[in-house]
A and B are shown apart, each in its own frame.
Chain A
Amino acid sequence: MSFFVEFARFLQARKKYWLLPVLVAMLLFGGLLLLAQSSAIAPFIYTLF
């Protein structure tokens, strides 16, 4: 729960409310991806991630 409160504060501070629907979609999509594969491998250029 504290994660959502903090992320809401972050969006407010950055004034980037449009990221919220993206995040929600991401979490759903990410959940599907997690179900679809057993391991998450960091991409080659790991500096970026």
Chain B
Amino acid sequence: MRVLGISAFYHDSAAALVDNGRIVAAAQEERFTRKKHDSRFPHHAVAYCLNAGSITLSDIDFVTFYDKPFLKFERLLETYLSFAPRGYQSFRMAMPLWVREKLFQKGLLGKLLKQSAGEGWDDRKLLFAEHHVSHAASAFFPSPFQDAVVLTMDGVGEWATTSMAIGSGNRLEVQREIHFPHSLGLLYSAFTYYTGFKVNSGEYKLMGLAPYGEPKYVDKILTNLVDVKPDGSFRLNLEYFDYCTGLTMTNGRFDQLFGTPARKSTELLTQHHMDLAASIQVVLEQIVLRIARNLAQETGLPNLCLAGGVALNCVANGKLLRDGSFKRLWVQPASGDAGGALGAALATYHLHKGQPRAPLNGSDQMHGAYLGPEFAQSEIESRLRAVKAKFTVLSDRELIDTCAAALVDEKALGWFQGRMEFGPRALGGRSILGDARSPSMQSVLNLKVKYRESFRPFAPSVLREHVAEWFDLDEDSPYMLLVADVVAGRRVRMTAEQEKLFGIEKLNVPRSDIPAVTHVDYSARIQTVHRETNPRYHALISRFNEMTGCPVIVNTSFNVRGEPIVGTPEDAFRCFMGTEIEALAVGNCFLRKEDQDPTLKLNYETAFELD
């Protein structure tokens, strides 16, 4: 049985193909259309999935959309009615869209699918899964667990903002939910908005900003904004938020509470914003930990699965793991709405059709999240030739040696290999790599390669077999979703003078043997690299380790700020020519910047709308 899952029309459209329970392919539409967070119907991602499965749409048994439009409409109407006449402006803007389009999503989807499949399409194949069931299915069914508690937390789906379920074999039963407008994701997004970042994409930045601040507003938040019960359930005080009726997340009372108006994106970040980031991070962690502890006690189960946008808060995930209320933790790498496509397909296969899960073998079913398109060597060469790239074709051994040497020389290396990752993180398929030991690498990558804010830290890729020697972690973290500290023996203490430095200035002080990936609080967002799932990337870091004694490198996504991660060799070449990336490996093709035609250089700094 083949099921195609689709998420679309809100943000991060994606498609995923499940064939007899096996995840064959999954990809986000933005990678094909080059429009960040593209929300349109994922024509390209669907075509890719069908191509990867060597099938056409008429071979698909079910197509499942990742949420239920009628239920969402019900929530919207009830929300507007309960707040009326407030909210008229928002109502007036939202409803034409619903009346024209979103209410008729089934017909629209049928039409779009018919366009792709022609006469082979039958509307009865189209199903809808609840938003949080999609998230929960994406968290549980690919996990390495037979039984687990499944916790999903995000902004909002239809009604649910948090759901707690028990997964067992091929079953998944939702135990309870917290409903809109009480939402942990929206609480965090309110602070994202208030500190001047974009809602739905700036949450990572807020998390990255938190270590620069003092959590001095925790009590204020817990006293005024959110009432947390002993079991972790919570209610927001809506007097401070505007999202139910207005066009912003927070209101004037919120501004008064924290003493300043919301920061505009062009204004300078101050210690006040860093303190707010630190405070909301602590509150989020407290709530997540309380929910988890309660669930562990209540169910007695040792395994926890997470999904939903809040599960991308890897700092909270790290705390959850160290808390020990659950012995094992598995987080869906595509925890945002794109992953809903995969969950919708899995929910159909296991829950709706009652099909069994494949026998567990100790590892998860995500294939390292390498579920996207790949290119044969001959195709890479012809594509690169077509864009006038100058390259050398190397043997596997030569490629690894040359790339490792480039890293040792502190070069920024573009690394485009194998299948593209599914989810927001680059995991050694579409990455920019650097030497983690270099004190200047962080600012060079931020300012000259990624063109992004200088406060943002980079993440390390470390060989799984060496992770415990460098970080306070001895678990698999293949999806860069756990944060842990650099081990004490590899830290460099800051002097009293350095301690006095203002927030961001601290980042330039080397704080460990691997300063490029060590945040100001000594934390790091870790990716463990496994020979089984990405042998070439493992070989590269192993060679780097042989040359330097360091099995850790910098890994950041292959894009610039505001650009979707590169999807094709041409995208990679453009990004290479538009930034100060010095070397590029695409398959077995190796490119040096100095060999390229200088007239092909692009102005990439302003090529994309800032996120």
Contacts and interface: CB of A to CB of B under 8 A. Distances in A.
Interface in B183-199: 186, 189, 199
Contact of A48 (B103, B106, B243): B243
Interface in A9-46: 10, 14, 16, 19, 22-23, 26-27, 29-31, 33-34, 37, 40-46
Contacts of B156: 47-48
Given A2-B107, A40-B100, A46-B11, A14 B93 contact: no
Contact of A19 (B77, B155, B248): B77
The interface residues of chain B, by DSSP majority, are classed as helix
Contacts of B155: 47-48
Contacts of A10: 70
A34 B100 contact: yes
A29 to B, nearest CB: 7
Contact of B94 (A6, A14, A22, A43): A43
A26 B90 contact: no
B99 interface: yes
B97 A42 contact: yes
B247 interface: yes
Interface residues of B, number: 35
B95 interface: yes
Interface string B205-238: 0000000000000000000000000000000000
A47 B104 CA distance: 19
B8 to A, nearest CB: 13
B398 interface: no
Given A44-B247, A47-B199, A27 B99 contact: yes
B20 interface: no
B200 interface: yes
Contacts of A14: 71, 74
A45 B106 contact: no
A7 B10 contact: no
A30 B199 contact: no
B134 to A, nearest CB: 15
Contacts of A6: 70, 106
Given A19-B77, A44-B247, A34 B96 contact: yes
Interface in B70-113: 70-71, 74, 76-77, 81, 90, 92-104, 106-107
A26 B243 contact: no
A49 to B, nearest CB: 5
B104 A19 contact: no
Contacts of A46: 10-11, 39, 200
Contacts of A22: 77, 81
Please classify the interface of chain A as helix (H, G, I), strand (E, B), loop, or mixed, using the class held by over half of its residues.
helix
B97 A49 contact: yes
A33 B156 CA distance: 27
Contact of B77 (A3, A26, A47): A26
With a 10 A CB-CB cut-off, give which of A6, A42, A43, A45 has the most chain B CB atoms: A45
Given A47-B155, A48-B156, A42 B100 contact: no
A48 B77 CA distance: 12
B249 interface: yes
A16 B371 CA distance: 41
Contacts of B11: 46-47
Nearest to B180: A48
Interface in B38-77: 39, 70-71, 74, 76-77
Nearest to A47: B155
Given A46-B200, A47-B189, A33 B243 contact: no
Given A6-B106, A22-B77, A48-B243, A42 B93 contact: yes
B96 A45 contact: no
Nearest to B248: A44
B454 to A, nearest CB: 28
B177 to A, nearest CB: 15
Contacts of A27: 99
A6 B109 CA distance: 15
B70 A7 contact: yes
Contacts of A23: 77
A31 B99 contact: yes
B248 to A, nearest CB: 7
B99 A30 contact: yes
Contacts of B71: 14
A49 B99 contact: no
Interface string B149-176: 0000001100000000000000000000
Given A3-B107, A19-B77, A30 B243 contact: no
A2 to B, nearest CB: 7
A49 B100 CA distance: 13
Contacts of A34: 96, 99-100
Contacts of B243: 45, 48
Given A33-B95, A46-B39, A47-B10, 14 more contacts: A3-B106, A6-B70, A26-B77, A26-B95, A27-B99, A31-B99, A34-B96, A34-B99, A37-B96, A43-B90, A45-B248, A46-B10, A47-B186, A49-B97
Interface of A: 2-3, 6-7, 10, 14, 16, 19, 22-23, 26-27, 29-31, 33-34, 37, 40-49
Closest 9 CB pairs of A and B: A30-B99, A40-B96, A40-B97, A47-B155, A10-B70, A44-B247, A33-B96, A43-B93, A49-B94
13 contacts: A3-B107, A10-B70, A19-B74, A30-B95, A30-B98, A30-B99, A31-B99, A41-B93, A43-B247, A45-B247, A47-B186, A48-B156, A49-B76
Interface of B: 10-11, 39, 70-71, 74, 76-77, 81, 90, 92-104, 106-107, 155-156, 186, 189, 199-200, 243, 247-249
